[in-house]
Amino acid sequence: MQECRNAGDDTGQVIRAALPDDISVIRDIEAAAGELFREIGMNAIADDPPPAEGDLAPYLGGGRAWVATDAADNPIAYVLVDVIDDWAHIEQVTVHPLHSRKGHGSSLIDHAERWAAAHNLDGMTLTTFQDVPWNAPYYERLGFVHVPEQAWSDGLRQIVRQENHHGLNAWPRVVMKRKIDHQNP
């Protein structure tokens, strides 16, 4: 997908495909954003190391990683997407706290949705913390809805199992989705 400048944004922010040179900055963004969780007592999340280069590489190689950049082309936020059972699954979306609450998160999610629509996927899914203000309540504001357990696809079930194994279910977790209306894109 082409580089895309956000409408109405005078900060020079651009969303573009993530490049190998961005990997260390992506890891820095993740570590910085993790500190938000320490402020609400979720130290284990803050202490979780950012994704390793080897974990990020398949997203870059597969064209499923994008960064939002500042005017100097430095990444300030990123999103990673998997394809799970015909849905684009947001594996991670993170904005550096110095640049939060300026629409970068929602712009990246919208960008991923355009990619999903172009690939004829049904919509977007994600898993997140139910009670963290910038997690499930944020996604609800963006039009995501909760997916009850009986409606989880096999792929989503496997993701939840892996996350539970990793200890994320120490706090309530939810699965959410936002369907794409292919008739009215």
Ligand X SMILES: CC(C)(COP(=O)(O)OP(=O)(O)OC[C@H]1O[C@@H](n2cnc3c(N)ncnc32)[C@H](O)[C@@H]1OP(=O)(O)O)[C@@H](O)C(=O)NCCC(=O)NCCS
How many angstroms separate the CA atoms of 132 and 12, rounded? 30
Minimum distance from CB of 66 to ligand X (Å)? Answer: 13
Minimum distance from CB of 99 to ligand X (Å)? Answer: 7
Minimum distance from CB of 183 to ligand X (Å)? Answer: 26
What are the residues binding ligand X (CB under 6 A)? 33, 36, 93-95, 100-106, 126, 128, 133-135, 138, 141
Q: Measured from the CB atom, is 40 or 120 closer to ligand X?
A: 40
Q: Measured from the CB atom, is 145 or 182 closer to ligand X?
A: 145
Q: Structure tokens of 42?
A: 């979720």
Minimum distance from CB of 86 to ligand X (Å)? Answer: 21
Q: How many CA atoms lie within 13 A of 134 on its CB side?
A: 15
How open is the CA angle 175-125-8, to the nearest 5 degrees? 120
CA distances to 50, 52, 95, 142, 175 from 131, rounded to whole Å, are 22, 27, 19, 16, 13
Q: Measured from the CB atom, is 106 or 153 closer to ligand X?
A: 106
CA distances to 12, 56, 84, 124, 127 from 119, rounded to whole Å, are 28, 21, 13, 12, 21
Residue showing the smallest CB distance to ligand X in the complex = 105
Looking at the chain, how many residues does it have?
185
Minimum distance from CB of 138 to ligand X (Å)? Answer: 4
At 44, is the secondary structure helix, strand, or coil? helix
Q: Measured from the CB atom, is 134 or 171 closer to ligand X?
A: 134
Q: Measured from the CB atom, is 102 or 119 closer to ligand X?
A: 102
